[in-house]
Amino acid sequence: MTTIDVRNGRLSQERLDLNFSDSHPPLEPGNALVEANRCYFCYDAPCIEACPTSIDIPSFIRKISTGNLKGSAKDILSQNIMGGMCARVCPTETLCEGACVRETQDHQPVRIGELQRYATDSFIESGETFFERAESSGKKIAVVGGGPAGLSCAHRLAVLGHQAVVFEAREKLSGLNEYGIAPYKTVNDFAQLEVDYILKIGGIEVRTNQKLGHDVKLDNLRKQFDAVFLSVGLGDANSLGLENEEIAGVYDAIETIAELRQSENLAELSVGRRVVVIGGGSTAIDIAVESKKLGAEDVTMVYRRGPEQMNATWKEQEFAQTNGVQVKHWLSPKKLKSENGHVSGIEFECTELNHEGKLSVTGEVRSMEVDVVFKAIGQTLDNSLDSDDEMPKTRAGKFAVNAKYETTLPGVWAGGDCINSGEDLTVQAVEDGKQAAISIHRKLSQT
């Protein structure tokens, strides 16, 4: 018989502070200069092509090498207003750094992400801004969702002279940057510092605790505003499809990360002794490592396919393993076991690729004793949103838009994780918001 062991205070406050300190401390000036001088400043730089927001990377790095940090920050922020957060959370190993010429030469790419953080942090902390608003257009746009796509859209609309009103379902802006990213990736409340910088442009009104379909209605917004931009993200977590999935000890990873991010005392958070995380993406990595850093003895990530098919990059997988997380592949959850209403074990069935290349189960079963199970198998669009019947969706269940980010509803645009524009990344959401704002501006300029 297993013993359920879920409690708080497994580690001292001193140890917790150390575990949740910045996992990648910023570059010192001398190191930044050395790193900047490693760049070849390629004319046809592949790193620019690999960046969803098309930052002129050689230009901003060259400015760092000459001591022009303000100019460097301008290169970055003019293309990506959330360049500071993206420098912290982007999978640079598969984007800009993965395309770096030095990566192909000696597998030592220029540390572009760290240089980007170096430039943007110093500028944002200075309190300066180089953005100026255009003459007022008299147009008012509703931005539904205050995450990366929404904030990017609102900021660009403000720069173009429009008034933006951001409707956010939660108490704070910044979406998953505030609620869904491991705290050791973004320390010192940086998400809100970045929000303050974005709002400094003016022309952006914020209304929090306003959820679409509950507190505000899309039909009403369409009547009250000149345009509407939907950036509602993905509000519902995918289910495992198992019986007893609602028993105690089985949690949605994204909700737990949000609780951890908003906690003022990590020592008060409960953590299991034996934790299993089901999933293979960044969220799975985050909750697994967080559980280990909170004091869990055994943390195991379980994925139904192989490491090459995991959404988490090789660097994230390596980070999890170096932080004490075990990773097991080719296992699919089959059954949850419980004792006294609390999860006590989980049964998996082994998987493989059949002769057609499709995933199938082998019939072999393996079991693990657990105190806590985290579901991290992706999210779907919140089904409680209104006007769903009027909003066509893609096969993936997201809002359908054209190349200009327009939905089929007149006057309604959409972007971010709630559409299929690329990978569900902060940097892609920022680009969606920026391009949608430009599209809205062009349409409104014609009226």
Residues 263 and 344 in one domain: yes
In a domain, 20, yes or no: no
pLDDT digits (tens, 9 = 90+) for 86-145: 999 999 999 999 999 999 888 899 999 999 999 999 899 888 899 999 999 999 999 999
Of 70, 102, 126, which residue sits at a domain end?
A: 126
Q: Which residues of 409-422 are buried (b: 16+ CB within 10 A; e: fewer)?
A: bebbbbbbbbbebe
- Mean pLDDT confidence for 205-225: 95
pLDDT digits (tens, 9 = 90+) for 46-74: 999 999 999 999 999 999 999 999 999 99
In a domain, 312, yes or no: yes
Residues 282 and 369 in one domain: yes
CATH number for 91: 1.10.1060.10
pLDDT digits (tens, 9 = 90+) for 68-102: 999 999 999 999 999 999 999 999 999 999 999 99
pLDDT the model gives residue 7: 85
Residues 308 and 433 in one domain: no
> pTM of the entire structure?
0.94
Contact 1, 337 (CB under 8 A): no
- Pairing of the two strands 359-369 and 372-375: unpaired
Residues 388 and 329 in one domain: no
Judge whether residue 390 has pLDDT over 80. no
- Pairing of the two strands 227-230 and 140-144: parallel
In a domain, 21, yes or no: no
Helices (H), 45-188: 46-50, 57-65, 69-77, 83-89, 96-99, 101-106, 112-126, 148-159, 176-179
Q: What is the DSSP letter of 117?
A: H
In a domain, 16, yes or no: no
Residues 79 and 106 in one domain: yes
pLDDT digits (tens, 9 = 90+) for 280-298: 999 999 999 999 999 999 9
Mean pLDDT of the chain: 94
Residues 251 and 280 in one domain: yes
Number of compact structural domains in the chain: 3
Query: What is the residue-wise DSSP string for 311-357?
Result: SS-HHHHHHHHHTTEEEE-SEEEEEEEEETTEEEEEEEEEEEE-TTS
In a domain, 52, yes or no: yes
Residues 359 and 389 in one domain: no
Of 91, 126, 161, which residue sits at a domain end?
A: 126
pLDDT the model gives residue 385: 65
Judge whether residue 405 has pLDDT over 90. yes
Burial bucket for residue 174 (CB in 10 Å: 0-12, 13-18, 19+): buried
Residues 262 and 342 in one domain: yes
- Confidence tier at 2 by pLDDT (50, 70, 90): low
- Confidence tier at 224 by pLDDT (50, 70, 90): very high
Judge whether residue 387 has pLDDT over 80. no
Q: Which residue has the tokens 């539904």?
A: 144
**Phi, psi torsion values for 120, nearest 5 degrees:** -75, -40
In a domain, 360, yes or no: yes
pLDDT the model gives residue 227: 98
Pick the closest to residue 404 from 375, 368, 432 (CA basis): 432
pLDDT the model gives residue 384: 66
For the chain, the straight-line distance linking the first and the last C-alpha, in angstroms and rounded, comes to 71
Judge whether residue 9 has pLDDT over 90. no
The residue segments making up the domain with residue 151 are 140-235+381-445
Of 375, 402, 426, which residue sits at a domain end?
A: 375
Residues 253 and 229 in one domain: no
Residues 214 and 293 in one domain: no
Q: Give the percent of the chain with pLDDT over 70.
A: 97
CATH number for 301: 3.50.50.60
pLDDT the model gives residue 136: 96
Q: Give the percent of the chain with pLDDT over 90.
A: 87
In a domain, 8, yes or no: no
Residues 317 and 417 in one domain: no
Residues 243 and 230 in one domain: no
In a domain, 202, yes or no: yes
Judge whether residue 404 has pLDDT over 70. yes
Burial bucket for residue 269 (CB in 10 Å: 0-12, 13-18, 19+): middle
